[in-house]
């Protein structure tokens, strides 16, 4: 239902979009561009929130069937433990970050108007 490529694009765009928003906030000439970007980032964040909820309730952890040997081999590599942690908690991260960024961009949009 939700493509991994689209989730990646929307997550990274909405996550790093705050830097563009901060830059454009102090430029009165670019107010229309700022409002448009904020609406796009709000849409992306809502998409991430819905995708995270979908994964949360309908997702099987890919690490649930891994043997201890496979888990040990993966976590022994540099940074492998962090990757396993992010994979295990990805639906929760996606949901909460999507909800927070939706709220944040919405508050900035209210302030700009």
Q: Model confidence over 18-62: pLDDT tens digits?
A: 999 999 998 889 999 999 999 999 999 999 999 999 888 887 666
Token couple for 38: 């904020």
Number of structural domains found in the chain: 1
Farthest CA pair distance, the chain: 58
Arithmetic mean of pLDDT over the chain: 85
Range of the domain at 37: 4-112
Query: Half-sphere exposure of 24 toward its Cβ, with a 13 Å CA cutoff?
Result: 18
Whether the model clears a pTM of 0.85, i.e. scores above it, the answer is no
| CB contact set of 18 (below 8 Å; sequence gap of 6+) | 101, 104
Number of Cβ within 10 Å of residue 54's Cβ equals 16
């Amino acid at each position: 239902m939700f493509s991994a490529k689209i989730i990646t694009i929307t997550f990274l765009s909405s996550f790093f979009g705050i830097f563009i928003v901060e830059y454009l906030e102090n430029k009165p000439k670019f107010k229309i561009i700022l409002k448009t970007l904020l609406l796009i980032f709000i849409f992306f964040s809502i998409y991430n929130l819905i995708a995270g909820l979908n994964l949360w309730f309908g997702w099987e952890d890919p690490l649930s069937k891994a043997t201890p040997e496979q888990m040990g081999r993966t976590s022994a590599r540099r940074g492998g433990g962090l990757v396993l942690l992010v994979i295990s908690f990805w639906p929760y991260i996606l949901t909460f970050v999507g909800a927070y960024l939706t709220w944040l961009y919405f508050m900035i949009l209210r302030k700009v108007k």
